[in-house]
Amino acid sequence: MPDRFPSPFEVVTPTGAEGWEELYGYSTVFSEDRRELEDSMFWFMDGVHTPEAIEPWDATVLDFALTFLGQYTTRHYVIPPALGVDIRYLNGHMYLSPVPVTDPAEIEARVPEFAERAGYYFANWPTLYDAWMDKIKGVIGELEAIDFQPLPHREDMSVITEGRGIGSGQLMMFEYDKLVQLTARLWAHHFEFLNLGYAAYLDFFGFCKQIWPSIPDQAIAKMVAGIDVDLFRPDEELKKLAQLAVDLGIGDRITSDAAGTLAAMDADDAGKKWATAWDEAHHPWFNFSSGSGFYHSDRVWAEYPDIPMGFIESYVAKLGRGESLARPIEAIEAERDRLVAEYSELIDDDETRATFDGKLGLARVVFPYVENHNFYVEHWGMSLVWRKMRQLGQILTDAGFFGKADDIFLLRRNEVPDAIFDYFHGWAVGIPSRGPAYWGREIPRRQGIMQALRSWSAPPALGVPPEVITEPFSVMLWGVTSDSVKAWLGGSDSPDGTLSGFAASPGVAEGPARVVLTAEGISELQAGEILVAPLTAPSWAPVFGKIAATVTDVGGIMSHAAIVCREYGLPAVTGTAFGTKNIKTGQRLRVDGNTGQVTVLD
Amino acid sequence: MPHHIAWFDRHDPALEPVLGGKNTSLGIMTMAGLPVPPGFAVTATAYVKALHDTGVAGALAAMVGGLDVTDGVALARVATEARDTITGTPLPPWLADEVDEAYATISERRGQADLPVAVRSSATCEDQPDASFAGEHDTYLWVRGADALRDHVRRCWASLYTERAICYRRQMGYGEDGAAMSVGIQQMVLPKASGVAFTLNPLNGDRSQIAIDASWGLGEAVVSGSVTPDNFLVDKVMGDITSRVISDKTVEHVLDEDDRVVEREVDEERRTAASLTDDEVRAVAALARRAEKHYGRPQDVEWAIDGAAPADEAVVLLQSRPETVWSRKARVASPDSANTFQSIVHNLLHPSGSQTVHLH
């Protein structure tokens, strides 16, 4: 078994992808300028959020996300053992490297600052969280207001009469700058709370593991998890719509063809009433991505209404079979209380019990953020970012720059102002822009590069792994552990036909596998099948009503699959690394969510 | 009136000093509604009075009084002599009557003449948390008929005078005159499987787990260590079976054609088969948990699956003792765990449990 992964400097460029480096920022590709440093670091691919090659503009979001993660850890809260997480693109795939603080004296020296700074947030969490909600909704409001308009043949007369003195071309430039700034703010706020939230959760987690070495991870999660979580709202809305359709006696009109369904609804008052409810649910809850939210190509419900309509159709069918859609909220609450009472009872002394109560209390205070931020940032906020970018892309397409609106994502963020300027300049001067010719050549070339990068088989990691993965955020955010590194190196001890991962949601289930690589594939899932996917997104929630269990390649116990499966009472094993590679659709599986083992039975 | 017979289902805490640890525990568990096979105790009061009335007490005092326990030859001779004296002296008539009457009552109550019973010693200094006498005294299985029962009561008494017991008592500083024996008489179940359960993980003291050792037949094979039992770990709170180790169980203790308990080889196909179904594992765990909850501290229980009983009442509790190893060194969180920030830093630096696995 090899003890290291390839050096980033020995990885070759796939044929047809020559020149790919120009598609990413110069500071986020490996280079001779920092070779010694970069070669000494351990890099892993972020299979949780970005399992595939990343188009140039999409890298904007990742660059921002990782920069803000680092900023809060390193400069705001001075988290003692961790600096930021570095980011590089290699053959279009994103690799990450958490930077630890290794000198014990330095760690110790950072503790007082951390206590003061993080302590302020912990002590004032509810107030700061309320303020966060206002801030994030403010950013979202501003994103909603972003509006790109084609440059007019003549400026409106009002520009003259109001003496505005600036025109549509400048406004388009400003508007794009604003969009980039808002995207940055979105991600700054994302990480304002996240690592503190995780740190408090990990503290409770570690405490429980210390007292009860064998306590299942999901028991700890269940004691902390919230009941009323915004992340579940989109799915709740679909259930309500399904129930409404059944109550109105028009359930049979709903098919996965949203346009057809809505046309059929227009026939009578009952249908119109339902269509109104559908429209009301749209905002904001259909700003919900079928993916991680990091790809512009992730399908958002608002743009792909067939997806939520298909889910409603399956819920209507479920109601028709007499099944209930309601989440057993009282049962979930009762179970949460039972767990806390039982574990508390297992503690012998009052002092330890007080510590348990204190840590559980803090974990519960911070957890709503951990659970909810995802809807506001990755789903709602990012849906808007992609939508507004597409609006701009369409204008440039109409101006002959691109073949289609989505071509704009083949530009780096700092190239977009140049393209806008070109369009603006040609319009202002009254001559043709260079764009149609320039991008007419460049876009197909880049498409070719992306094509080659997409079919490149990315190694899961690069460089020399540390003896032990202890970097907490690697584990918590990316599910990267010493075990997964070992599995990537090909040294998995698992016997043939078994895979191990995180015991993410308890229970044992058997059934036929359905390997689903993208959101488009989820419609193939049949009742009783076991979903095997690279990862799942919260918007897949409706499929959890019919599957028997979930297996993912990536993700830890706080991954979407883990959270949703616990919610639905389904067994889940996450972070198996090779699930989608080793398992074939139709194979019978046994998924043991208690031990994290997946067995192929035939 | 002195109590010579004490029924478990009419347990009187005032009698505990003369019941010994094991019988006290059976009485308490019976009163708590735990599924303990019915039975009664012959109290230490009866032992003391019987030995006094028959003159055995005086003889024993004379034999052991001047004994130098470091003199192995003398110890062996005295021990044998003492036991012979006890087993060779019939119960005084008043006690024989009381034992016979109690035995007739339980036989009648269970609807079986000459009810098979287990006869267990329950020394009054046994099973204290600080000095486990476990295994120091005897247990007799499948005893049938009043004559045999009386005979085995005396054998239990005599087990106070094994060389080991005499020596142990001397070493632990228990006075000879304080040593008295209560005897438990309990309906015998013929188990499909049996074993022990700890209401914590004996490997690491984790109180959120229940560890079960199980094997075929009577529990003697597990308790004596003559078989490597199946081992199950059950999560106490979540109820999941988190580990199953199925062993090659070579022997079992069962009843032979002559109505005697014998050790025999397990037939081939059962040797490596699980001795408990998952449902039975959970039922045993639930029972152990009930015992723990009742006592409010970790327990070490003996249990059996009664092959003849309906499934929902098949698991019976034979014994529950306080767990003595981890109880004295309870798991504690690290000292700085109450300081939020030190603790967060600690947990960031040392991710726990399943999160940290060494590579090499």
Judge whether A209 is closer than 8 Å to chain B, CB to CB.
Answer: yes
Q: Mean per-residue pLDDT for A321-325?
A: 87
Asked if residue B236 and residue B138 are part of one domain, the reply reads no
Asked if residue B162 and residue B139 are part of one domain, the reply reads yes
B335 chain-A contacts, CB cut-off 8 A: none
Contact at CB, B349 and A352, closer than 8 angstroms: no
Which carries the bigger pLDDT value, residue A461 or residue A491? A461
- Residue B351: inside a domain, yes or no? no
Contact at CB, A506 and B333, closer than 8 angstroms: no
Q: How many other CB atoms are there within 10 angstroms of residue B70's CB atom?
A: 9
Name the residue range of residue B47's domain: 5-187
**Span A192-245, pLDDT tens digits:** 998 888 888 888 988 998 899 889 888 898 898 877 788 889 999 999 999 999
Judge whether B206 is closer than 8 Å to chain A, CB to CB.
Answer: yes
CATH of the domain at B92: 3.30.1490.20
Where are the domains positioned within chain A? 1-212+346-480, 230-326, 495-600
Which of B187, B204, B219 lies at the terminal end of a domain, its last residue?
B187
Q: What is the mean pLDDT of chain A?
A: 89
Contact at CB, A594 and B357, closer than 8 angstroms: no
DSSP H or E run through A474? helix A472-478
Q: Would you place residue B354 in the very low, low, confident or very high pLDDT band (cuts 50, 70, 90)?
A: very low
ipTM of the complex: 0.76
- Residue B336: inside a domain, yes or no? no
How far the first Cα of chain A sits from its last, in Å, is 28
Which residue among B332, B350, B358 places its CB closest to the CB of A482? B358
- Residue B66: inside a domain, yes or no? yes
> What pLDDT is stored for residue B331 in this prediction?
58
Q: How many other CB atoms are there within 10 angstroms of residue A596's CB atom?
A: 23
> What pLDDT is stored for residue A301 in this prediction?
94
Please give the single-letter amino acid code of residue A466: P
Which carries the bigger pLDDT value, residue B325 or residue A509? A509
> What pLDDT is stored for residue B328 in this prediction?
59
Å between B206 CA and nearest CA of chain A: 5
Question: For residue B187, which of B267, B250, B257, B103 has the smallest C-alpha distance?
Answer: B103
Provide the number of CB pairs (under 8 Å) joining chain A to chain B: 152
Helices within chain B (DSSP H only):
20-31, 44-53, 56-65, 72-87, 93-109, 146-158, 163-172, 220-224, 268-271, 278-295, 340-349
Give the span between the Cα atoms of A440 and A457, in whole angstroms. Answer: 29
Q: Mean per-residue pLDDT for A575-592?
A: 86
**Span B210-224, pLDDT tens digits:** 999 999 998 877 777
Asked if residue B141 and residue B227 are part of one domain, the reply reads no
Asked if residue B199 and residue B183 are part of one domain, the reply reads no
Q: Would you place residue A493 in the very low, low, confident or very high pLDDT band (cuts 50, 70, 90)?
A: very low
Whether the Cβ atoms of residue A463 and residue A43 lie closer than 8 Å to each other: yes
> What pLDDT is stored for residue B67 in this prediction?
83
Question: For residue A525, which of A537, A509, A542, A508 has the smallest C-alpha distance?
Answer: A542
Judge whether A488 is closer than 8 Å to chain B, CB to CB.
Answer: no
Which residue among B201, B209, B341 places its CB closest to the CB of A114? B341
> What pLDDT is stored for residue B131 in this prediction?
36
Q: Would you say residue A309 has pLDDT above 90?
A: yes
- Residue B27: inside a domain, yes or no? yes
Q: Which of B299, B348, B356 to mutate to test the interface with A (most CBs of A within 10 A)?
A: B348
Whether the Cβ atoms of residue B180 and residue B42 lie closer than 8 Å to each other: no
Q: Is the dihedral of CA A360, A364, A365, A371 positive or negative?
A: positive
Q: Would you say residue B127 has pLDDT above 60?
A: no
Whether the Cβ atoms of residue B266 and residue B252 lie closer than 8 Å to each other: yes
Which carries the bigger pLDDT value, residue A86 or residue A521? A86
For helices A217-224 and A560-568, angle between their N-to-C axes, nearest 10 degrees: 80
Query: Among A487-491, B120-124, B318-322, which stretch is predicted with the lowest mean pLDDT?
Result: A487-491
> What pLDDT is stored for residue A494 in this prediction?
52
Asked if residue B180 and residue B159 are part of one domain, the reply reads yes
Which of B187, B211, B243 lies at the terminal end of a domain, its last residue?
B187
Give SS3 for A99: strand
- Residue B345: inside a domain, yes or no? no
Q: Would you say residue B249 has pLDDT above 60?
A: yes
Contact at CB, A205 and B347, closer than 8 angstroms: yes
**What b-and-e string marks burial along A152-190, b requiring 16 or more CB atoms within 10 Å of the CB?**
eeeeeeeeeeeeeeebbbebbbebbebbbebbbbbbbbb
Q: How many residues does chain B have?
A: 360
Judge whether A210 is closer than 8 Å to chain B, CB to CB.
Answer: yes
> What pLDDT is stored for residue A152 in this prediction?
96
Query: Among A74-88, A110-124, A545-559, A585-599, which stretch is predicted with the lowest mean pLDDT?
Result: A545-559
A482 chain-B contacts, CB cut-off 8 A: 356-359
Which residue among B207, B340, B349 places its CB closest to the CB of A470? B349
> What pLDDT is stored for residue B357 in this prediction?
26
Contact at CB, A481 and B356, closer than 8 angstroms: yes
B289 chain-A contacts, CB cut-off 8 A: none
Asked if residue B200 and residue B175 are part of one domain, the reply reads no
Give the span between the Cα atoms of A548 and A555, in whole angstroms. Answer: 19
Taking only residues 573 to 602 of chain A, the set having a beta carbon closer than 8 angstroms to any beta carbon of chain B reads 594-595
- Residue B131: inside a domain, yes or no? yes
Mapping DSSP onto H, E and C, the string for A438-451 reads HHHHHHHHHHHHHH
Asked if residue B112 and residue B16 are part of one domain, the reply reads yes
Q: Is the dihedral of CA B290, B295, B296, B302 positive or negative?
A: negative
- pTM tops 0.80: no
**Span B139-181, pLDDT tens digits:** 888 999 999 999 999 999 988 888 877 877 777 777 666 678 8
Whether the Cβ atoms of residue A552 and residue A576 lie closer than 8 Å to each other: yes
Please give the single-letter amino acid code of residue A401: F
Closest chain A residue to the Cα of B328, Cα to Cα: A348
Query: Which fold is adopted by the domain A495-600?
Result: Glucose Oxidase; domain 1 (3.50.30)
Q: Is the dihedral of CA A41, A47, A52, A55 positive or negative?
A: negative
Whether the Cβ atoms of residue B231 and residue B212 lie closer than 8 Å to each other: yes
State chain A's maximal CA–CA distance in angstroms.
83
Q: How many residues does chain A have?
A: 602
> What pLDDT is stored for residue B334 in this prediction?
62
Number of structural domains found in chain B = 2
Asked if residue B121 and residue B67 are part of one domain, the reply reads yes
Asked if residue B314 and residue B178 are part of one domain, the reply reads no
**Span B72-88, pLDDT tens digits:** 888 889 999 999 999 99
**Span B11-52, pLDDT tens digits:** 999 999 899 888 998 999 999 999 999 999 999 999 999 999
B239 chain-A contacts, CB cut-off 8 A: none
Q: Would you say residue A387 has pLDDT above 50?
A: yes
**Span A100-151, pLDDT tens digits:** 888 889 988 999 999 999 999 998 999 999 999 999 999 999 999 999 999 9
- Residue B348: inside a domain, yes or no? no
Asked if residue B158 and residue B72 are part of one domain, the reply reads yes
Asked if residue B160 and residue B201 are part of one domain, the reply reads no
- Residue B340: inside a domain, yes or no? no
Asked if residue B148 and residue B34 are part of one domain, the reply reads yes
Taking only residues 217 to 256 of chain B, the set having a beta carbon closer than 8 angstroms to any beta carbon of chain A reads 233, 235-238, 240-242
Q: Which of B281, B355, B356, B360 to mutate to test the interface with A (most CBs of A within 10 A)?
A: B355
